[in-house]
Amino acid sequence: MSSERIFLASPHMGGLEREFVKEAFDTNWIAPLGPNVNEFEKELSEYVGVKSAAALSSGTSAIHLAVKLLGITKGDYVLCSSLTFCASCNPIVYEGGIPVFIDAEPESFNMSPKALKKALEDLKVKGITPKVAIVVNLYGNSANIEAIKELCDSYNVKIIEDAAESLGSTYKGKMSGTFGDIGIYSFNGNKIITTSGGGALVSNNDEYVKKARFLSTQAKEAMPYYEHKGIGYNYRMSNVVAGIGRGQLRVLDRRVKEKNHIFETYKEAFKEIDDIKMMPITEGCTSNQWLSVITLKEESKVKPTDIIEALEKENIESRRIWKPMNLQPVYKDNMFYNHNENGISVGEDIFNRGVCLPSDTKMTNDDLKRVINIITSLFN
């Protein structure tokens, strides 16, 4: 049996990336601006169907600018999905805001409209008016954005849609990341497409994007010398890595198909194992299936760590589900609204029982069989 490393998810080049990067070298555009940046923004906007985009150094920097653009300052409360990576909520704190965490729902593993409603009603009683909600689309699956948007609109709460993991997914025929006031994408090395490191802020509000670009280049005023009336950041994407992004965009649809093939292969392989359940897909969503996720029955003799350790012994990478933010020591004192009336939260339950399986688009069918055989052998 081959012992070649199988990764959870890793960069998968399509070939055209070299041409765009070479162009940057040939024209000496080795800077955080240039033709590749401009074209990448244009092509990304056209792909997802928004007016404009700002190409930035990371998804985290994009969320930070979004938080700033929507007016979050010291003491402001911001609603945020709890079952997510810390990059979704840390930028709230950068601006002095206070994250309020909202539990997941079993139907999507994303923000629970029920818990959100509970939070909005309770905060109103407490005299707290949240300005913004950061809604995450986990592992490529869309949140129940229609119900969430209806609630947010009724309380005049703006939405940042964290689509860091869901580029290429759709919800009711519309591209993920385009439902909020501002949308966020990540092009980190393990995402469905990559620029090695990078992200983007998108919006149908041109002013938001224009201001994001301004802030991402140290807030330099349009003067013949360096004039600064406010604080900016070094967040602009490099022209070199934007070239990688342009090549990657051209294979995005292919990667979505490949990710879905991986998911469906696991689903078929595990259909007779009662203890394994595939991550649900939100009604109306076509997921990019960035990572294929399973949950195990609570009473299963096989635990997530058993699967992870068995795979690692064979040089195969897998990992636990994100540990919810309300369980993180750094956020232990923040408000949290549970989807359930009592007992542990949905997010904690998913964390306890979930595993992210290898979802690398470079895997062969033999690699997939190897992963499946190791997992199924644990249940025999």
**pLDDT tens digits in sequence order for the chain, 380 residues long:** 457 899 999 999 999 999 999 999 999 999 989 999 999 999 999 999 999 999 999 999 999 999 999 999 999 999 999 999 999 999 999 999 999 999 999 999 999 999 999 999 999 999 999 999 999 999 999 999 999 999 999 999 999 999 999 999 999 999 999 999 999 999 999 999 999 999 999 999 999 999 999 999 999 999 999 999 999 999 999 999 999 999 999 999 999 999 999 999 999 999 999 999 999 999 999 999 999 999 999 999 999 999 999 999 999 999 999 999 999 999 999 999 999 999 999 999 999 999 999 999 999 999 999 999 999 999 98
pLDDT of residue 202: 98
User: Maximum distance among all alpha carbons in the chain?
Assistant: 73
pTM of the model: 0.97
The CATH architecture assigned to 17-249 reads 3-Layer(aba) Sandwich (3.40)
Do 17-249 and 252-377 come out as alike in CATH topology?
A: no
pLDDT of residue 2: 53
| Residue with the two structure tokens 């190791």 | 374
Give burial (CB, 10 Å; 0-12/13-18/19+) of 57: buried
- Pairing outcome for strands 285-286 and 170-171: antiparallel
- Mean pLDDT score across all residues of the chain: 97
Going from N- to C-terminal start, the domains of the chain cover: 17-249, 252-377
Question: Quick one: pLDDT at residue 128?
Answer: 97
Per-residue model confidence (pLDDT) at position 247: 98
Which superfamily is assigned to 252-377 in CATH?
A: Aspartate Aminotransferase, domain 1 (3.90.1150.10)
Sheet with 292-296, strands from edge to edge, namely: 276-278, 292-296, 354-357, 319-320
User: Which pLDDT belongs to residue 306?
Assistant: 98
Residue 3 confidence (pLDDT):
77
Q: What local confidence, expressed as pLDDT, does residue 1 receive?
A: 46
R_g (Cα) of the chain, nearest Å: 21
Three state DSSP letters for the chain: CCCCCECCCCCCCCCCHHHHHHHHHHCCCCCCCCHHHHHHHHHHHHHHCCCEEEEECCHHHHHHHHHHHCCCCCCCEEEEECCCCHHHCHHHHHCCCEEEEECECCCCCCECHHHHHHHHHHHHHCCCCCCEEEEECHHHCCCCHHHHHHHHHHCCCEEEEECCCCCCCEECCEECCCCCCEEEEECCCCCCCCCCCCEEEEECCHHHHHHHHHHHECCECCCCCCCECCCCCECECCHHHHHHHHHHHCCHHHHHHHHHHHHHHHHHHCCCCCCEEECCCCCCEECCCCCEEEEECCCCCCCHHHHHHHHHHCCECCEECCCCHHHCHHHCCCCEECCCCCCCCHHHHHHHHEEEECCCCCCCHHHHHHHHHHHHHCCC
CB of 162 within 8 A of CB of 175? Answer: no
- Least Cα distance to 288 among 249, 313, 262 occurs for 262
